[in-house]
Structure 1
């Protein structure tokens, strides 16, 4: 039985845990040859082992232009092209208005906006015609979230970038879409609740109460949306935001 992504070359940034790791696993399962990035070698090695299917890990920080250049050089030398880019690396932390520091602002936008811009731009020379670029957004980009305004603004910027980039790339046949998860059961989400199990469990319980479907997403549920956007099954979807949130931002 043929796989939807057989013969495709994919890159997943921030692929060592959570949604990124799940996406890399699902892309590989569908036949893609997957490259993943991560900042810590130990976590990267574990991710490559979990992905299997001849996945390749590349240590680096997507906020550093030298690391992006080295990453793209490696893919160019080994593969000559890139068919799928999932620009997923990012993150955020809580800071209410009145406590927002310049460092908090810069760190959030560097990770979630600047890195996305230059990851996509550095990958463009490798992207094949008909390729698919997928950006990680968030329902926070279109809803209000207490003490999370800078993260929310950064994800709204990601959504805006996709709308313009489809016009910039229309002559190359490259699609750009955004997957915007709702609350997803990841280590990163739990850590927003603090360093204690009580705090983390309390946050996850509260977020679960906001989801009409009655639970948090599993990372693989978001990963399957990424695979859909990477495949020809979504060939006429372009510039769109696909929300996978169990109804959280819909009511």
Structure 2
């Protein structure tokens, strides 16, 4: 018996990185997986890599109309969602005196608004006892240079895991946050840094990790599986930090 046999799982931002690795693992563990992404080509390639138990729904989590379409599609085809992994997110490095209003709005719209309304829109489809996982970050508790906006959004996500736990306690829906440390995903290429700057950033981060390396997307997928499955049946409201020890020592 696989850990998610017969389950329906929705993973936002499932077309790359941590979301894709989690979708692949969930499918291997028996789930039907619906992923979202903003680019059709990448979404199609991701679905193909996951296998027959996956499908993609094009959409941007910061647009409520796209989330309505996601809800309607899942309701019509499956009737329920057992697991939500609100994973979609983005961020860029910039000191406070260089942050633009557009950067601020985009980051909050995807990371906070997108996470919040992904849960709200899909919630009517979640049966009592379901699992909701929010992708936060150790940036929410670390004072990382030039990362103020991203860090603030992830602190909000961590807070949501607590408040939604109490909001949904009558339905026994478990809400938990995963807080990754540095993970080798395509997000590094979206920070606005050059290749050389990215390598320098990775090197500097690695020196702060007790385990001495950057994590892999698969190392987020496995904790996500734990939180999605009955293995974590008595766990709710937590922040599960997966960071090689970076924020712990």
TM-score norm. by structure 2 comes to 0.98
Tell me if 1:211 matches 2:209: yes
3-state SS, counterpart of residue 82 of structure 2: strand
Aligned to 2:238: 240
Tell me if 1:136 matches 2:135: yes
Q: CA deviation at 1:189?
A: 2.4
Contact 1:27 1:227 in 2 (8 A): yes
Answer with 46-55 or 211-220: which moved more.
Answer: 46-55
Q: Deviations over 1:36-89 (max 9, x none)?
A: 000100000010011114201011111111111011101000001100000000
Q: Deviations over 1:131-180 (max 9, x none)?
A: 00000000000110100011001000001111111111011110000000
For 1:66 and 1:97, how far apart are their aligned partners in 2?
A: 32
3-state SS, counterpart of residue 162 of structure 2: helix
For 2:159 and 2:56, how far apart are their aligned partners in 1?
A: 30
3-state SS, counterpart of residue 98 of structure 1: helix
Aligned to 1:89: 88
- Go from structure 1 to structure 2 and tell me whether the alpha carbon gap of 1:41 and 1:212 turns closer, same or farther (over 3 Å shift): same
Aligned to 1:183: 182
Contact 2:93 2:192 in 1 (8 A): no
Unaligned runs of 5+ in 1: none
For 2:22 and 2:239, how far apart are their aligned partners in 1?
A: 17
Q: CA deviation at 1:190?
A: 4.7
3-state SS, counterpart of residue 97 of structure 2: coil
Contact 1:191 1:200 in 2 (8 A): no
Aligned to 1:45: 44
Q: CA deviation at 1:129?
A: 1.1
Q: CA deviation at 1:191?
A: 4.3
Tell me if 1:201 matches 2:199: yes
TM-score norm. by structure 1 comes to 0.97
3-state SS, counterpart of residue 153 of structure 1: helix
3-state SS, counterpart of residue 82 of structure 1: coil
For 2:35 and 2:190, how far apart are their aligned partners in 1?
A: 23
For 1:58 and 1:153, how far apart are their aligned partners in 2?
A: 28
Aligned to 2:5: 6
Q: CA deviation at 1:193?
A: 6.7
Aligned to 1:19: 18
Aligned to 1:150: 149
Aligned to 2:160: 161
3-state SS, counterpart of residue 11 of structure 1: strand
For 2:213 and 2:61, how far apart are their aligned partners in 1?
A: 32
Contact 1:177 1:241 in 2 (8 A): yes
